[in-house]
Chain A
């Protein structure tokens, strides 16, 4: 399979800059999620890799081949890049089978490649239907089969699950990702859903301001985000004021270990990130000196629950397994555990 390398990519529409010197390297066979808010240029990024549009500056390489640079442009039909759009974009005038076979040569068609792929996505008996006779999830499966049929070097997916309803989205997402991994396809998909990005990708790139702000494995991204913006974008975040010195952070929730390699030689005020599941609650036992707060809101999700606790001047979000340990209005004692990320506080 293949690597994709983007260097110094800039692109504007009129006076509106969308990408500003973006660099990114997708390793061979990896599933990479590009996470960004709508309008952050995610789709543009994919369209550039596919060759639907040209960057104003920068170079795009697939497998060491330069496919786009100031000197060279390889048109989309010669890039061998599969593309699945948000709405699937199936050809409405062709049957499912003909859609899948669209990119195949005569010999490949005769060899039954289309049928093979339809079976792979679980739609073996739907070949003669037309796209409008399929449900949204089925259409997306067909779009994927169509993109995979000509054995592309890279598969690009543009918010492929966002038009589906929640239940279907989760199941189709895991099916599709499993399939892509079995095919060892280098995959780039863009999404605005952090849960989607974290749950299925090997690597996640957070896009902001026309660049990749941070590019890391999901676990690292969640535990050690580069800054507050990234921290809040990839999950729920409590940001506490604290003091960091020699690998420990002192906060209102006590003394917490700073994650490895963060602020190694720093000594001073810092913003400290505590994720909701790092905090635990219990009812106060008599009068103690322990930090306490009042439950303001509770939301029960079955497998866990989320409480919002008024704590001094701030509100903390706390996630607890199972039943809510306290009701609205109750006083609770808070404690935190695990490693935290932190950044030098301004001023």
Chain B
């Protein structure tokens, strides 16, 4: 009987075992990559790495990561401040527009720029495109942090003799430092994993080199060795976060009621402010949408016969993404339950170790699954299951982040109250726990779906024979060069497909922030 109740100290065995299993599953790709790289012996592995080539890749990747992270951080923070803390005309609309780049896949954005302006390529082209694509990863958490920040604290700072500007910088920005750091970290990690955009922009990074090794050199071992370096880079980024970020959570003291913030008047800076926001939205959102729509109507035929129709490609994308999202959500639930309901050092470590998956680029996970399929489960090679598994593993951390606040809201204390009111355990789960967790599960599903539908790198490697998704068919046309008109409908469909889940997700995060600051803070904490 007792095992039906959530104990306070010892987690139920089933839950703990499931969580351990899930985490083991997630971490296994890394182990596989190490196995594959080491297959020919460590000496050979070292030989594959010890080349000027690796040095140049490292230089390319690091200088790009530094520039883009810095620019995205600056852009994201200033945009967040303008839309959240100033009386910017039309700030709600701008705020909505500023997050749209999330649904424009990196390779589509890069394609629109390079197809219209061939001069946009190489290092500076990549800096431009990647900054425009990735700044929302800083903008979103920073906007939420500014919204949640307590105006009372700035008032106190001003009473202590600081100017408005100083108060903002030394109180609000200072408190959002770990949020900024977290956002920058996400930018850096995402950048390391991209392939399509850099192929478009003719800029070589680790990911494009790994892809080249697989596609043209057929050298999985070299690819694995390069992957190890890439993973090493990502781990370095994650570790730097741990080194810089402040331990300990900032909590609001005193009553939770918070006065509304009064936005700062812009005065004569009004016009420049609007112009600067427009200067971000236009190239990041307006331009790609315009180009896609332009090609949609300009049309254009392709010599390349479509492997599948637009409808079929959309169907496959929806199917695989939905399955991946469902699997990731189901896998994340026990880990989330364990960490929120039975917080202990080991359950939190378990939860955190899944975030390490974020440091493993999609291409590496795909590579590991290909390796696993070809060595251990031959029938699974190029099967839909493998692609779904890749999505589930890659985007697991996103699912976990999205559901955390809701799972925390469905406290076991509420279940107990339900029991004491005469309802059995099953009824209580259905009437209390499920309704409370459901929004989080839906958010997790949307987050993973959205990411999977616009994923290219792993999809290219794992897509089943004879099948094309929107992303891979788009890529086939875009790679061909001139067939912009043929590629455009796939890009448009992909973006449309992600708009709805992205909108729902945005609503969910806004609501949970507004509903309870504590829960919202948790979302933020998990996000960064």
Contacts and interface: CB of A to CB of B under 8 A. Distances in A.
Interface of A: 13-14, 47, 50-54, 73, 75-83, 85, 87, 89, 91-93, 102-103, 132, 146-147, 149-150
Contacts of B409: 92
Q: Which of A50, A52, A132 has the most CB of B within 10 A?
A: A52
Given A14-B9, A75-B424, 12 more contacts: A75-B419, A77-B422, A78-B422, A81-B420, A83-B420, A85-B417, A89-B411, A91-B417, A91-B432, A92-B409, A103-B423, A149-B421
B1 A73 contact: yes
A118 to B, nearest CB: 16
B211 to A, nearest CB: 47
A76 B415 CA distance: 11
Contact of A146 (B421, B431, B432): B421
A52 B421 contact: no
B340 to A, nearest CB: 16
A77 to B, nearest CB: 5
Contacts of A47: 416
Contacts of B2: 53-54, 73
A85 B413 contact: yes
Contacts, number: 76
Interface string B417-446: 111111111000001100110000000000
Q: Which of B414, B422, B424 has the most CB of A within 10 A?
A: B422
Contacts of B413: 85, 87, 89
A50 B416 CA distance: 9
B515 interface: yes
Interface in B1-42: 1-2, 4-5, 7-9
A93 B435 contact: yes
A80 B419 CA distance: 10
B520 to A, nearest CB: 13
B516 interface: yes
A53 B7 contact: yes
7 contacts: A47-B416, A75-B424, A77-B421, A82-B421, A87-B413, A103-B423, A147-B421
B423 A92 contact: no
A80 B417 CA distance: 12
Nearest to A165: B255
B23 to A, nearest CB: 24
B435 to A, nearest CB: 5
A13 B420 contact: no
Interface residues of B, number: 27
Interface string B430-470: 01100110000000000000000000000000000000000
Given A91-B414, A92-B436, A93-B436, A79 B8 contact: no
Q: Which of A89, A92, A146 has the most CB of B within 10 A?
A: A92
A146 to B, nearest CB: 7
B1 A77 contact: no
A153 to B, nearest CB: 12
B8 A13 contact: yes
A114 to B, nearest CB: 12
Contacts of B416: 47, 50, 52, 76, 83
Contact of A82 (B4, B414, B420, B431): B420
A51 B200 CA distance: 64
A147 B422 CA distance: 10
Contact of A52 (B419, B425, B432): B419
Contacts of A147: 420-421
Nearest to A13: B9
Contacts of A82: 420-421
A223 to B, nearest CB: 37
A91 B410 CA distance: 9
B506 to A, nearest CB: 21
Contacts of A93: 435-436
Contacts of B515: 132
A53 B422 contact: no
Contact of B419 (A76, A85, A92): A76
A79 B419 CA distance: 9
Given A91-B414, A93-B436, A52 B5 contact: yes
B442 to A, nearest CB: 14
Contacts of B8: 13, 53
Contacts of A89: 411, 413-414, 417
B194 to A, nearest CB: 40
Contacts of A14: 9
Contacts of A78: 422
Q: Which of B8, B421, B422, B435 has the most CB of A within 10 A?
A: B421
Interface string B181-194: 00000000000000
A39 to B, nearest CB: 14
A102 B7 CA distance: 23
Nearest to A86: B413
Contacts of A149: 421
Interface string B71-101: 0000000000000000000000000000000
B423 to A, nearest CB: 6
Contacts of A52: 5, 416, 419-420
Interface string B212-231: 00000000000000000000
A77 B5 CA distance: 12
B420 A50 contact: yes
Given A13-B9, A54-B2, A92-B409, A76 B432 contact: no
A77 B7 contact: no
CB-based closest 9 A-B pairs = A103-B421, A76-B419, A83-B420, A52-B416, A93-B435, A76-B420, A77-B419, A103-B422, A77-B422
A73 B4 CA distance: 13
B1 A75 contact: yes
A146 B421 CA distance: 8
A14 B2 CA distance: 17
Contacts of B436: 91-93
A51 B409 CA distance: 22
B8 to A, nearest CB: 7
B418 A132 contact: no
Contacts of B419: 51-52, 75-77
Interface in B249-295: none
Interface string B502-524: 00000000000001100000000
A53 B5 CA distance: 8
A102 B418 CA distance: 8
Given A13-B9, A92-B436, A83 B417 contact: yes
Nearest to B516: A132
A51 B435 contact: no
Nearest to A87: B413
Nearest to B2: A54
Nearest to B415: A52
Nearest to A85: B413
Q: Which of B7, B416, B431 has the most CB of A within 10 A?
A: B416
Nearest to B413: A89
Nearest to A84: B417
Nearest to B438: A93
Nearest to A80: B422
A85 B2 CA distance: 21
A106 to B, nearest CB: 13
A91 B413 CA distance: 10
A200 B516 CA distance: 34
A132 B423 CA distance: 24
B425 to A, nearest CB: 8
A13 B7 CA distance: 10
Given A83-B416, A92-B436, A102 B5 contact: no
A85 B418 CA distance: 12
